[in-house]
C-alpha cells in the first residue's frame, strides 16, 4: 500500500507520543511510609491487585501516547494510493487531451452532442492548467504525434474538432498521447481520454499503445477516462441500401433493398428513395422496438446513355439524436448484358451453366436485371465461326468437350491474349492428347495425366485464397459447404508454371487452377478438373460429382464471369476509411483523374502511371457521393464515381464493460468519471490520494472517549479501595 504525507514535516510530531511515558518516569511519586495499625490485610489485598493496577496504568499511558501520535499524524495529512508526489499544486504540466471524434460522438441529448460536452470539459481542464504547460490535443481520426501547444492555442485546436468516420481504434490515439506526454520535461504528466466509450471505437483484443512508456516517467502519468455516454440510447438508422446488382443491364430495372433498424422503442418513419438527385418513391414503415424492417424500391428502366447512377435511401420524420446514419448512399453502373459462349459436345452439358448465368426470365425476382446472355454452341459447329466472333463474348466455357481442332485452339489462344476469359471443365469425354498439345499448352493451366475414379469418393477440400474474387463474397460459408459435396472422379492434372491452385480436393489433388496471360489486356484461364455439369443418375459413370446442384455452384459462376471480364475487383460502394479501387479501361488511357466529393469545392487531381489497370484513391472519409472525371490528353472525358458510407458499427451503440476497460489500460492505471463533479473528484484522488484525515480524527475522538472512560473507571475503583481499607 502506497502511503505519502502532504505535510511531511509535521509527522515529526509523532515523537510527542513519548511525552506521557517520559512524564510517567520522571514524575513518579515516591511512596510515603505511614504507620497504620493492622496493615496485614491491606498489604495482602495490595499484593493481589498490584498486577491489575499496572496493566490499567499502562492502558491509560498507551491511550494518551496514541492520542498525541494521531494528532500529529492528522496534521501531516497522510494519503493512500497517490500517483504523484506533487500533490495538488499548480505546476507546469504535460497534458494530453485525447478526443474520440467517431461518429457516435454526434449523439445529441439535451441540446448538446457528446463531442460538444467533451469540449466543454476540456475547456474547464485548461482553465486550471498553468500557462507554462504543454498541451497535446489528439484527434482520434488523425495519426501522428501531436505538437505541444499552449493552453490558449489548445482551445482553438479543440474548437476546430469535428466527428469523422472511425477507421482506426482509439488504442492508437491514446498511444499518441502517451508518447507525447512521456517525452515532455514538465513536472506533472496527465492524459485525459474524452469518449462515449462505444465499443466500436476500440480494439478490445489488445491494450492501448504506449503503456510501456509510462514506467519511464519519474512522477508517473495519470490517466483519466471521461465518459460521455448517452443515457437510454434511441436511434433509427438506415443499416443497408444496396442495388440488386452492382452492374445493371441497360433497358431494365433493378431493385434497391434497404433495411431500417431501431434501437429503442417502436417508431414510425418515412423512407425516401432518390436516384441521381430526383425522388423516386417514399414509403411509410413501422419499426418494432429494437427491430428491423426491409423496404424495396424499383428503379425506372435504365437509360443506356447514362453509364453511372448514384442514389440514396433517407429517413424523414421526427428529429433523430444520431443523424449521420439516417442516410445511406449507393452507386451502380449500367451496361449491356455480358455475352457468354458455352461450347460442349452435348446440349445437357451446357444446362447448369446456362441456368446459373441466364435463367428463364420468369424465374427472376421482380426488378432483377438479366446480367448475362448465354449462347450455346456444339463443338462440331465451332470451326464455322470466325476469329472475330469471339471478341463479342466476355468469356467462353468449354465443358466436357472431347477435343477441338488446332485452328479452334488458335482462335481461343488469340482471344485470351487479347484479354478474353476461358473456363475449361474436364469431364469423362475429354482426351488428354488434345488438351496437352504444344499449342494448347500455351493457355491451359496444367497437363492432363489421367482420369481418377475414387471408389469411396472424396470431397472438395481446401480453398487456398478466400480473398480471391471467386470466393470473397461467401468466404465464411463456401468452404464448409463445398466440403459436404462428394466427388467420385476427377482428372489428375500437373499444374503448369506461372499458375496457381485456387482450390483442392480433400486428398490434396488440384480442383481449380488459374493461369493469367499478359497482353494488351490481361487474359485469364480457369481449369476445373471435374466437369461443370452432372447427370440425374448418380450411378452413371458420367456423374462425377453434384457440385452443379448446390448453391455454391451458382455463387461461383456469378462471380466467374465478372472476374474474367476484369470487373469483379471494382467496387462502387465503400465504407469510410477503405481504399477505393476503380478499374481503368486499358484501351482508353487518360492523363488526369479529377476526384471531387459532392459537397466539396476543392477537387483533387491524380495522375497514375499509364500502365496502371486501376485508379487507387486512398481512404476518402467524407460521406456521400463522389465523382471522378477522367481527362485525356486530347480533352476527351469519361465519368466515373463511387459512394462512401459510415461503418455500421458506429450506429450500434454498445458500451465498453469495466473488464474491457481494465484490459485496455490495466486495472489500476486509470480513473473513470461520468460528470464534471466526478472529474474533479477523480483528479483530486489521483493527485492527493485518499486522505486519511477524516478517519484519523474519528479515531482520535474514539480514543479520547476511551481514555476518559478508562480514567474515570480506574479512579472510581481506586476510591472504592481506599474507602474499603479505611473501613477495615
351 and 474 belong to one structural domain = yes
CA 557, 558, 559: angle at the middle one, nearest 5? Answer: 90
CB 221 within 8 A of CB 178: yes
DSSP string covering 41-73? HHHHHHHHHHHHHHHHHHHHHHHHHHHHHHHHH
Domain boundary among 539, 564, 589: 564
In this structure, of 152-161, 259-268, 395-404, 561-570, the range with the lowest mean pLDDT score is 561-570
pLDDT at 296: 94
Strand 222-227 relative to strand 188-195, pairing: parallel
Highest mean pLDDT: which of 44-53, 269-278, 613-622?
A: 269-278
Which residues are bridge partners to 336 per DSSP? Answer: none
Element (H, E) at 690: strand 690-691
- Judged against a pLDDT cut of 80, whether residue 380 lies above it is answered with yes
Higher pLDDT, 375 or 601: 375
- Judged against a pLDDT cut of 70, whether residue 580 lies above it is answered with yes
379 and 488 belong to one structural domain = yes
CATH code, 253: 2.60.40.10
- Judged against a pLDDT cut of 90, whether residue 690 lies above it is answered with no
Q: pLDDT band for 728, please (50, 70, 90 cuts).
A: very low
pLDDT in tens, 527-551: 999 999 988 877 777 889 889 999 9
pLDDT at 140: 93
Which residues are bridge partners to 515 per DSSP? Answer: 499, 525
Q: Confirm whether pTM is higher than 0.85.
A: no
489: nearest Cα among 603, 590, 400, 367:
400
- Judged against a pLDDT cut of 80, whether residue 71 lies above it is answered with no
Residues 336 and 393: their CA atoms lie apart, in Å, by: 12
CB 148 within 8 A of CB 180: yes
Residues, the chain, total? Answer: 728
Quick check: helix, strand or coil at residue 77?
coil
pLDDT in tens, 277-332: 999 999 999 999 999 999 999 999 888 788 899 999 999 887 889 999 999 999 99
Mean pLDDT calculated for residue range 226-246: 88
497 and 643 belong to one structural domain = no
Highest mean pLDDT: which of 36-45, 198-207, 216-225, 410-419?
A: 198-207
344 and 473 belong to one structural domain = yes
User: Is residue 662 packed enough to be buried (19+ CB in 10 Å), middle (13-18) or exposed (0-12)?
Assistant: middle
- Judged against a pLDDT cut of 60, whether residue 109 lies above it is answered with yes
- Judged against a pLDDT cut of 80, whether residue 74 lies above it is answered with no
Print the domain residue range for 661.
93-232+653-688
Strand 486-495 relative to strand 510-517, pairing: unpaired
Q: Would 715 be classed as within a structural domain?
A: yes
Query: What does the mean pLDDT of the chain come to?
Result: 83
pLDDT in tens, 506-527: 989 999 999 998 766 778 999 9
Residues 664 and 104: their CA atoms lie apart, in Å, by: 20
pLDDT at 19: 56
Strand 134-139 relative to strand 247-249, pairing: unpaired
Q: Would 28 be classed as within a structural domain?
A: yes
Q: Would 681 be classed as within a structural domain?
A: yes
CATH code, 389: 3.40.50.880
DSSP string covering 452-519? EEEEEEEEEEEES-TTSTTTGGGHHHHHHHHTTSEEEEEEEEEEPTTEEEEEEETTS-EEEEEEEE-S
Write out the E strands in 233-348: 235-243, 247-249, 255-263, 267-275, 278-287, 292-298, 308-316, 327-335, 338-344
329 and 347 belong to one structural domain = no
Q: pLDDT band for 1, please (50, 70, 90 cuts).
A: very low
Quick check: helix, strand or coil at residue 376?
strand
Quick check: helix, strand or coil at residue 526?
strand
CB 138 within 8 A of CB 99: yes
- Judged against a pLDDT cut of 60, whether residue 392 lies above it is answered with yes
Residues 6+ apart with CB under 8 A from 362: none
Quick check: helix, strand or coil at residue 124?
helix
Mean pLDDT calculated for residue range 221-225: 91
341 and 423 belong to one structural domain = yes
In this structure, of 344-348, 497-501, 604-608, 631-635, the range with the lowest mean pLDDT score is 631-635
Residues 425 and 532: their CA atoms lie apart, in Å, by: 6
479 and 597 belong to one structural domain = no
Higher pLDDT, 615 or 586: 615
Cell of 299: 428503379
Quick check: helix, strand or coil at residue 328?
strand
Element (H, E) at 645: strand 637-645
**Other C-beta atoms lying within 10 Å of the C-beta of residue 287:** 22
Q: Would 371 be classed as within a structural domain?
A: yes
pLDDT in tens, 428-478: 999 999 999 988 998 899 999 999 998 888 898 888 888 888 888 887 788
Strand 78-80 relative to strand 3-5, pairing: antiparallel
| Distance separating the N- and C-terminal Cα atoms of the chain | 59
718 and 663 belong to one structural domain = no
350 and 319 belong to one structural domain = no
Cell of 186: 514538465
Mean pLDDT calculated for residue range 108-133: 92
619: left (phi over 0), alpha (psi -120 to 50) or beta: left
Q: pLDDT band for 338, please (50, 70, 90 cuts).
A: confident
- Judged against a pLDDT cut of 70, whether residue 348 lies above it is answered with yes
62 and 126 belong to one structural domain = no
Q: Would 182 be classed as within a structural domain?
A: yes
Residues 351 and 344: their CA atoms lie apart, in Å, by: 10
Domain boundary among 318, 334, 350: 334
Q: Would 454 be classed as within a structural domain?
A: yes
Phi, psi angles (nearest 5°) of residue 267: -145, 165
Q: What percent of the chain has pLDDT over 90?
A: 42
Q: Would 272 be classed as within a structural domain?
A: yes
Higher pLDDT, 49 or 698: 698
Mean pLDDT calculated for residue range 265-278: 94
369: nearest Cα among 393, 397, 333:
333
CATH code, 669: 3.40.50.410
CB 478 within 8 A of CB 471: yes
Counting the structural domains of the chain, the total is 5
In this structure, of 56-70, 180-194, 382-396, 591-605, the range with the lowest mean pLDDT score is 56-70
Residues 256 and 295: their CA atoms lie apart, in Å, by: 8
Q: Would 720 be classed as within a structural domain?
A: yes
CB 77 within 8 A of CB 691: yes
Quick check: helix, strand or coil at residue 141?
coil
701 and 683 belong to one structural domain = no
510-517 sheet: strands from edge to edge: 372-378, 338-344, 395-399, 421-425, 523-528, 510-517, 499-505, 446-463, 486-495
489 and 353 belong to one structural domain = yes
Residues 6+ apart with CB under 8 A from 382: 343, 404, 405, 408
Amino acid at each position: 500500500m502506497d502511503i505519502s504525507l502532504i505535510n511531511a514535516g509535521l509527522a515529526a510530531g509523532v515523537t510527542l507520543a513519548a511525552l506521557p511515558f517520559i512524564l510517567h518516569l520522571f514524575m513518579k511519586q515516591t511512596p510515603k511510609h505511614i504507620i497504620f495499625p493492622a496493615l496485614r490485610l491491606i498489604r495482602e489485598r495490595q499484593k493481589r491487585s498490584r498486577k491489575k493496577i499496572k496493566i490499567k496504568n499502562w492502558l491509560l499511558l498507551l491511550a494518551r501516547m496514541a492520542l498525541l501520535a494521531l494528532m500529529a499524524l492528522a496534521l501531516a495529512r497522510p494519503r493512500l494510493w497517490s500517483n504523484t508526489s506533487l500533490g495538488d499544486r499548480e505546476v507546469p504540466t504535460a497534458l494530453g487531451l485525447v478526443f474520440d471524434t467517431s461518429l457516435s460522438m454526434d449523439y445529441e441529448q439535451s441540446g448538446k452532442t457528446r463531442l460538444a460536452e467533451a469540449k466543454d470539459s476540456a475547456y474547464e481542464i485548461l482553465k486550471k492548467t498553468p500557462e507554462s504547460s504543454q498541451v497535446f490535443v489528439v484527434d482520434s481520426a488523425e495519426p501522428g504525434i501531436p505538437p505541444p501547444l499552449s493552453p490558449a492555442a489548445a482551445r482553438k485546436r479543440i474548437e476546430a474538432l469535428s466527428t469523422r468516420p472511425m477507421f482506426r481504434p482509439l488504442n492508437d490515439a491514446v498511444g499518441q498521447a502517451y508518447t507525447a506526454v512521456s517525452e515532455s520535461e514538465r513536472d506533472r504528466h496527465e492524459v485525459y481520454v474524452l469518449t462515449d466509450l462505444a465499443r466500436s471505437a476500440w480494439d478490445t483484443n489488445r491494450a492501448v499503445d504506449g503503456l510501456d512508456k509510462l514506467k519511464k516517467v519519474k512522477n508517473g502519468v495519470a490517466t483519466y477516462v471521461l465518459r460521455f455516454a448517452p443515457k437510454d440510447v434511441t436511434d433509427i438508422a438506415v443499416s443497408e441500401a444496396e442495388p440488386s446488382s452492382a452492374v445493371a443491364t441497360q433497358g431494365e430495372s433493378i431493385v434497391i433493398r434497404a433495411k431500417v433498424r431501431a434501437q429503442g422503442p417502436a417508431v414510425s418513419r418515412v423512407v425516401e428513395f432518390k436516384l441521381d438527385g430526383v425522388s423516386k418513391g417514399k414509403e411509410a414503415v413501422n419499426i418494432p422496438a429494437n427491430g428491423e424492417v426491409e423496404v424495396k424500391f424499383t428503379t425506372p428502366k435504365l437509360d443506356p446513355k447514362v453509364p453511372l447512377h448514384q442514389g440514396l435511401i433517407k429517413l424523414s420524420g421526427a428529429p433523430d439524436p444520431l443523424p449521420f446514419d439516417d442516410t445511406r448512399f449507393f452507386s451502380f453502373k449500367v451496361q449491356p448484358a455480358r455475352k457468354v459462349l458455352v461450347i460442349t459436345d452435348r446440349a445437357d452439358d451446357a444446362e447448369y451453366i446456362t441456368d446459373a448465368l441466364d435463367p428463364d426470365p420468369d424465374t427472376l425476382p421482380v426488378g432483377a436485371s438479366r446480367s448475362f446472355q448465354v449462347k450455346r454452341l456444339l463443338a462440331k459447329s465451332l470451326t464455322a465461326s470466325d476469329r472475330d466472333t469471339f471478341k463479342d463474348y466476355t468469356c467462353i466455357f468449354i465443358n466436357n468437350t472431347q477435343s477441338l481442332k488446332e485452328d479452334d485452339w488458335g482462335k481461343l489462344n488469340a482471344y485470351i491474349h487479347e484479354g478474353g476469359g476461358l473456363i475449361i471443365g474436364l469431364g469423362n469425354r475429354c482426351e488428354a492428347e488434345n488438351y496437352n498439345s504444344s499449342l494448347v499448352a500455351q493457355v491451359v493451366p496444367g497437363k492432363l495425366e489421367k482420369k481418377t475414379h475414387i471408389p469411396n469418393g472424396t470431397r472438395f477440400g481446401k480453398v487456398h485464397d478466400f480473398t480471391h474474387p471467386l470466393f470473397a463474397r461467401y468466404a465464411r460459408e463456401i468452404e464448409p459447404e463445398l466440403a459436404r459435396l462428394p466427388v467420385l472422379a476427377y482428372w489428375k492434372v500437373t499444374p503448369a508454371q506461372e499458375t496457381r491452385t485456387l482450390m483442392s480436393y480433400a486428398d490434396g489433388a488440384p480442383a481449380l487452377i488459374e493461369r493469367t496471360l499478359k497482353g494488351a489486356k490481361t487474359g485469364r484461364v480457369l481449369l476445373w478438373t471435374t466437369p461443370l455439369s452432372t447427370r440425374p443418375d448418380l450411378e452413371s459413370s458420367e456423374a462425377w460429382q453434384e457440385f452443379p446442384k448446390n448453391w455454391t455452384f451458382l455463387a461461383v459462376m456469378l462471380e466467374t464471369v465478372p472476374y474474367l471480364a476484369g470487373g469483379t475487383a471494382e467496387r462502387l460502394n465503400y465504407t469510410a476509411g477503405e481504399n477505393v479501387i476503380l478499374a481503368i479501361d486499358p484501351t482508353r488511357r487518360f492523363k488526369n483523374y479529377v476526384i471531387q466529393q459532392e459537397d466539396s469545392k476543392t477537387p483533387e487531381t491524380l495522375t497514375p502511371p499509364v500502365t496502371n489497370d486501376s485508379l487507387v484513391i486512398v481512404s476518402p472519409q467524407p460521406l456521400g457521393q463522389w465523382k471522378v472525371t477522367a481527362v485525356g490528353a486530347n480533352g476527351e472525358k469519361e465519368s466515373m464515381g463511387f459512394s462512401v458510407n459510415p461503418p455500421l458499427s458506429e450506429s450500434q451503440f454498445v458500451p465498453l464493460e469495466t473488464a474491457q476497460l481494465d484490459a485496455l489500460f490495466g486495472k489500476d492505471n486509470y480513473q473513470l468519471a461520468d460528470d464534471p463533479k466526478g472529474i474533479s473528484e477523480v483528479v483530486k484522488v489521483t493527485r492527493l490520494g485518499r486522505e486519511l484525515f477524516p478517519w484519523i480524527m474519528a479515531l482520535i475522538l474514539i480514543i479520547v472517549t476511551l481514555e476518559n472512560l478508562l480514567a474515570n473507571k480506574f479512579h472510581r475503583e481506586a476510591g472504592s479501595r481506599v474507602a474499603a481499607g479505611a473501613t477495615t
